[in-house]
Amino acid sequence: MENTEITQNEISEKTELMLTKNNLIDLTEIRKWTMFFTVLGFIAIGFMVLGALAMGMIGIMGGTFGGMREASFLGGISLLYLVIALLYFFPVLYLLKFSTHMKNAIEKISQNDLSVAFTNLKSHYKFVGIFTIVLIGIYILVIFGVILFGLSNLL
C-alpha cells in the first residue's frame, strides 16, 4: 500500500497550488453553506443565552418565594447553558471568519485572504475535534460511574 501523506519538507518544496474555475465555484458554494451554519449557530447561541437568563430569573423569583433548592438547581442549569453557549461561540466564530475571508479571497483574488480563510477552517475543525474527544471521554467516565454506582447498590 502506498503512503500518500505529504511531509512538511514536501510542502515547503511546493509553493503554488492552482485553483480552477470549478474549484472557485465549489469554494463559493462552501462559503455560502458555512455562512448559513454561522447564522444558525449565532441564533442557537442567542437562544441558549436567553434560556439561561430566563432560568436564572425564574430561579431568583423561586428563591424569593422560599424554593431555595429549585432556585439553586435552576441557577446551576443557567450557568451550564452559559458555559455551553461560550464553548459553542468559538467554532461558530471560526466559521464566520472562514466565510468572510473566503468571500474576499474569491472576489479580490487575494492569496492572503485565502490563507486566512483556510487557517480559520482548520481552527474550526481542530476545536470541534478536541471538543468531541473531551465529550467522548466524559461520556466514558459517566458510563463507568453509572455502572459502578449500580454495582455498589447491588452489593
The domain locations on the chain are 25-154
Ordered per-residue pLDDT tens for the chain, 155 residues: 456 666 666 666 667 778 899 999 999 999 999 999 999 999 999 999 999 999 888 877 766 665 666 677 788 889 999 999 999 999 999 999 999 999 999 999 999 999 999 999 999 999 999 999 999 999 999 999 999 998 888 77
As a whole number of Å, the CA-based R_g of the chain is 23
> CA 73: distance to chain centroid?
26
CA–CA dist 103, 110 (Å, integer):
10
Residue 124: CB partners within 8 Å, gap ≥ 6?
A: 91, 94, 95, 98
Q: Which amino acid is at 29?
A: E
How many angstroms separate the Cα of 14 from the Cα of each of 10, 19, 110? 6, 15, 19
Q: What is the pTM of this model?
A: 0.80
CB of 71 closer than 8 Å to CB of 62 = yes
Residues 6+ positions from 34 with CB-CB distance below 8 Å: 95, 98, 99, 102
